[in-house]
Amino acid sequence: MAAKDNVLIIANRLPIHRVRSGRHARWDTSPGGLVTALSPILKGSGSGWIGWPGGTTGIRTFKHDGMRMIPIHLSSSEVEQYYHGFSNATIWPLYHDAIRTPTFNRKWWKPFVDVNKRFAQAAARVATPRQRVWIHDYQLQLVPKMLRELRPDLRIGFFLHIPFPPEELFAWLPWRREIIEGLLGADLIGFQTTADARDFSRAARLFTSATGTDHALRHKSRPIKIDTFPVSVDSHEIERCAADPHTIGHAQELRRRVGASRRIILAVDRLDYTKGIDLRLLAFEELLRRGLATVDECVMIQVASPTRETVSDYVEMRTTIERIVGRINGEYSIPGRVAVHYFRRSIPRRELVAYYAAADVMMVTPLRDGMNLVAKEYVSSRLDHSGALVLSEFAGAAQELRQAYLVNPWDMDGMVRSMDIALRQSRKDGRLRMGMLRMHVRRHHVHQWGRDFMGAMPE
C-alpha cells in the first residue's frame, strides 16, 4: 500500500508482542496469518496500528518498521475473559464449524464489550478527519458500530480472517444480534470466501433489520458493501528468500540431517485443534502400518507453534498430539531414522522457508480454516516447481489452489491415499501442478489483496 493510502489499522494484536522469559522481556513477531499478511503491506507506510502488545504491562506509543504502534492495555482478567474466553473459547470454535463445543459464558460478554469499546475509543482519538480505518478479525466485531457512533466522518472497513459460520451454527450465539449489528457499522465488510460472505448476509437479514442482497445490505438507512477478498502472502519476498544462498544451504543441511535419500513430508501450523494435526499424524502412522512407505524412504516433520496455551481444548490437543508422536516413533523409528520429528516452537521466517524448500510433500489439512497462508507460502517457495501440496477441502485456500491434491481430512483412507500419491507423483505431473499453483499465488499476492480491499472502500 502506498504512503498516500494512509490507513489506520485496528487488530487485536500489534505485529510484535512482548515475551517474558524469566526476568527479561523481549519483542517477538506476533503469531498467525493476520500479522503475516498485514506486515508487508504496511511496512514503511507511516500508518498507525492499534493493537494489544501481549501481556498486561502498559506501554506507550512507539515506532516499528515505519509504522506507528498504538498499544491497547488489557488487564489480566480481560486477557482471561475477553481474549482466552469470549474470543477464543466462544467465537473461535463456533466460527470453525463448532469442531469443539463453544463455551457460552455470560460473564465474558461485558469484558468483550468493554475491550472492543477501548479499541474504538483509541481509534476515535487518533484518526484524522475522514481517514480510512481498517478493522480486523473476530475479536473486534463490535468496533465498527462503536467507532461509527464516536466518529461518523470516518470510512470504516472490516475484514474477517476466519470463516463466518452457516446460519444454523451462528444462531447458537446468545449475542448474535449484537455481533451482527456491530459489524454493520462498517461501510465495507470483507470475507475470505463467497460462502462466508453469503452466510454473513443471510444471518444479517435473519437476525437484524438489514435488507438487501448477498453483496449489498442496507441497515438503518446506510448502505453496506459485502465482498470476498482472499488473503495472500508476499510471494516475491518469499521467492527472494528461497533463492538466497543461505536458505538453499540451510535446506540442503536439513535434508542431510534427516537422511538425504529420504522424502520429507512437512507440516507447519499453530498448535490449534482446527489444524487437524492429530488426524494427519494418524494418516502417516497408517501409511507406515500398511507398508506403503518405510522410515528408510520418508520422514514426517511437524512444526507446531504454541498458541492460546491456557484454553483447555488447546491443552488437550497438545497432549493428544504428543501421545501420537510418541507412539509412532516408539513403533516405527530405527537408529538414525526417526519417523516423526516434532518441534513445538515458532521458528524464524528464513528458517521456515528453508523447511519449505526442503520438503517433498507439504501437508496442509485443517478441519476448517479461513484461508491458510502456510499453503501459499509453500507454493511460493518452490522455485523449481518441484514438490506436492496436499490441501484440505475445508481451507479457504482450496477455493483457489485447485491443482493441489485436495483431501477431506476426516477421511482416513483418502488422507493415506493422497499422501501416497503425493509421495509418488511423477516429475512431469508435479511440475505441471506446482507451476499452475505458483502462477496463481504470484498473481494474487498480498499487496494486491490490500489494494483490492482499499479500492472497494468508499472514496
Chain centroid, CA 409 distance in Å: 18
Task: Determine the interface stretch with ligand G6P among 32-40, 194-202, 342-350, 382-390 (rule: CB under 6 A).
Answer: 32-40
CA distance 228 to 355: 31
- Residue 13 binds: one of ligand ADP, ligand G6P, none (C-beta under 5 to 8 A by kind): ligand G6P
302 touches ligand G6P (CB under 6 A)? no
User: Do 388 and 426 touch, CB atoms closer than 8 A?
Assistant: no
Chain positions 281 to 310 lying near ligand ADP, rule: CB under 6 A, are: 303-305
**Angle, helices 235-243/427-443, rounded to nearest 10 degrees:** 130
* Residue from 7, 8, 9, 13 in contact with ligand G6P (CB under 6 A): 13
Residue 346 binds which entry of ligand G6P, ligand ADP, none, CB below 5-8 Å type-dependent: ligand ADP
Q: Which secondary-structure segment (H or E) carries 236? A: helix 235-243
| Member of 5, 18, 27, 31 binding ligand G6P (CB under 6 A) | 31
Q: Is there binding between residue 307 and ligand G6P (CB under 6 A)?
A: yes
241 or 299: whose CB is closer to ligand ADP?
241
**137 forms part of the interface with ligand G6P (CB under 6 A):** yes
Considering the complex, state which of residue 31 and residue 259 has its C-beta at the smaller distance from ligand ADP: 31
If one asks whether residue 193 binds ligand ADP (CB under 6 A), the answer comes out as no
Query: How far apart, in whole angstroms, are the C-alpha atoms of residue 373 and residue 347?
Result: 16
Residues 200-229 binding ligand G6P (CB under 6 A) are none
Residues in contact with ligand ADP, total (CB under 6 A)? 18
Residue ranges with strand state E in 276-367: 298-305, 340-343, 361-364
Binding partner at 308 among ligand ADP, ligand G6P, none, C-beta below 5 to 8 Å by kind = ligand G6P
Could you say which of 32, 55, 166, 212 contacts ligand ADP (CB under 6 A)?
32
Considering CB distances under 5 to 8 angstroms, the limit depending on partner class, which of ligand G6P, ligand ADP, none binds residue 374? ligand ADP
How many C-beta atoms lie closer than 10 Å to residue 344's C-beta? 14
C-alpha to C-alpha distances, 169 to 42, 199, 408, 441, nearest whole angstrom: 35, 10, 21, 32
Residues in CB range of 452: below 8 A, 6 or more apart: 229
Contact 62, 69 (CB under 8 A): yes
Site string for ligand ADP, 367-396 (x = CB under 6 A): ----xxxx--x-------------------
Least spacing, CB of residue 213 vs ligand G6P, in Å: 27
Of 1, 7, 34, 352, the residue at the interface with ligand G6P (CB under 6 A) is 34
Residues touching ligand G6P, count (CB under 6 A):
11
Cβ atoms of 370 and 34 within 8 Å: the answer is: no
**Residues 112, 113, 119, 122, Cα dihedral to 10°:** -140
Q: Is 161 in the site for ligand G6P (CB under 6 A)?
A: yes
From the list ligand G6P, ligand ADP, none, pick the one residue 352 interacts with, judged by a Cβ distance below 5 to 8 Å according to partner type.
Answer: ligand ADP
Residue 303 C-beta: closest distance to ligand ADP, Å:
4
- Is residue 238 part of the contact set for ligand ADP (CB under 6 A)? no
Q: Give the residue with the Cβ less far from ligand G6P, 34 or 407.
A: 34
Of 37 and 340, which has the nearer Cβ to ligand G6P? 37
C-alpha cell, 164 = 463466518
Q: How far is the CB of 160 from ligand G6P (least distance, A)?
A: 9
- Which of 216, 315, 347, 412 is close enough to bind ligand ADP by CB under 6 A? 347
CA distances (Å), 309 to each of 201, 383, 441, in order? 34, 36, 32
Reported as type and span, the H/E element at residue 190 is strand 188-191
Chain centre to alpha carbon of residue 331? 33
As to burial, measured by CB atoms within 10 angstroms (0-12 exposed, 13-18 middle, 19+ buried), residue 261 is: exposed
Transcribe 114-183 into DSSP letters.
HHHHHHHHHHHHHPPTT-EEEEESGGGTTHHHHHHHH-TTSEEEEE--SPPPPHHHHTT-TTHHHHHHHH
| Torsion angle in degrees (nearest 10) through CA of 333, 335, 337, 341 | 70
Site residues, ligand G6P (CB under 6 A): 12-13, 31-34, 137, 161-162, 307-308
Q: Which residues bind ligand ADP (CB under 6 A)?
A: 31-33, 36, 268-270, 303-305, 346-347, 352, 371-374, 377
